Structure 1
Amino acid sequence: MTVDALLQSVPPLAVYGMVAAVVGVESLGIPLPGEIVLVSAALLSSRHELAVHPIGVGAAAVIGAVIGDSIGYAIGRRLGLPLFEKLGRRFPNHFGPAHVAFAERLFDRWGARAVFFGRFIALLRIFAGPLAGALKMRYARFLLANVSGALCWAGGTTALVYYAGLAAERWLTRFSWIALVIAVIGGVTAAVLLRERTSRAIAELDAEHADESGHTAA
């Protein structure tokens, strides 16, 4: 079976369901590659021989993001900041003290805008809902930022990748798969660079905490 035949055998609803599920679980607070799944599905939608539609991909991502963030908000509001202390002990690479401090600093500076912009930052995507709830942000403000952020992130990402895929096929018809792979690599590279920048900021906060702990001990 060829790759094209295999892709054509995948039901569109399965693609939409996968996008909604992965993005939703990531938004709930569990680290999953939501952005990579969204980009991959959007690339599939740019191939006209497949039944996957870009509007369906974008809508699935929005629904998953809004529902996942809302569930995360409810959990954070119920369990409060101690939730992150427990998660930090079990998953220090994702919920360590420096990660939480970085997210809290952004929330202090931006307020509800941190929920909106957090949709575009890998770290904040898993923190936005639970942390907004733990910090007792009003749900109406949270929901507005959540929905608008999900629409811009999911809609913008889907549209950008969809039209990039069309352009790749138009100009590189004989090498369309190479063009699609290049587009995926470009998207992943951008995400990795942004993640590294965030990691550096977290490392700086970690160093600050270590210095403060050293001064306190002295």
Structure 2
Amino acid sequence: MEKLGGPGAGLAIALENLFPPLPSEVILPLAGFTASQGRMDVVSAVAWTTAGSVVGAVVLYWLGALLGRDRLVAVAARLPLVKVSDIERTEAWFVRHGTKAVFFGRFVPIFRSLISIPAGVERMRLPVFLALTAAGSLIWNTAFIAGGYALGARWQQVTDLVGIYSKVILIAVIAAIVVFMAMRLLRSGRGRRRRPREDAEPPVSAEPGRRPPG
């Protein structure tokens, strides 16, 4: 971190948006610790890492814009247990709550990177997207850098605490996906049972004036 300095920390955070396995939960507190030792300016660390967050988010925004709604729907139509109506409902939800999702999404691991893609698909106004991303990222980055700065050599405690938070979020997301898939499978099974057999023979009606056999 001493060799990278503020610009290097900003580059690492930009890459973290594109490759979530690079953990900001480690990069940011370590930058704060380095600043506490007088080997980096803390304001510079906050400014550069926030700029890196915005740059990484913009790349994903334009990826979503290039993907576009039609391609997204085409991909979704090929996925098992996913319907076009799911995309349409998500789209409608994002139109109503997109600004809150972009801002508060910066505080949720994994989601903080992915939220930029639907923002691009829906072509959220770029100035609004930039402002929300910068504001949310500034709060997130400042909190972690300040934690590392205050704890000094014990900066790893910030990483440990956020590691628990990230695991809770991940478990909640997995549980939601499992519930969604289970409900979709149950509905699909009920629909097949209610569907009449196409190969069933039509009932034989008796001719007028003649009793049916038997």
TM over 0.5: yes
In the other structure, the counterpart of 2:33 is: 43
Q: Alpha-carbon deviation of 1:58?
A: 1.6
Change (3 A) 1:162 1:182: same
Q: TM-score, normalised by structure 1?
A: 0.68
Aligned AA (1:205): F
CA distance in 2, matches of 1:108, 1:51: 45
State which of 101, 116, 124 in structure 2 corresponds to 1:129: 116
Q: How does 1:1-218 map to 2 (within 5 A)?
A: 10-11=2-3, 14-28=4-18, 30-32=19-21, 33-46=23-36, 48=37, 50-81=38-69, 82=71, 104=90, 107=94, 110-163=97-150, 165-166=151-152, 177=153, 179-218=154-193
Q: Alpha-carbon deviation of 1:201?
A: 2.6
Q: Which moved more, 1:62-71 or 1:14-23?
A: 14-23
Percent identical among aligned pairs is 25
Q: Alpha-carbon deviation of 1:69?
A: 0.8
- Structure 2, unaligned runs of 5 or more: 194-214
> Does the CA-based 8 Å contact 2:106-2:112 persist in structure 1?
yes
- Structure 1, unaligned runs of 5 or more: 1-6, 90-95, 167-176
Aligned length: 184
Aligned AA (2:173): T
Aligned AA (1:200): A
Higher Cα Rg, which structure: 2
1:60-112 Cα shifts (integer Å, max 9, x gaps): 2201111111121112112124359769x9xxxxxx96xx97xx487356221
> Does the CA-based 8 Å contact 1:76-1:134 persist in structure 2?
yes
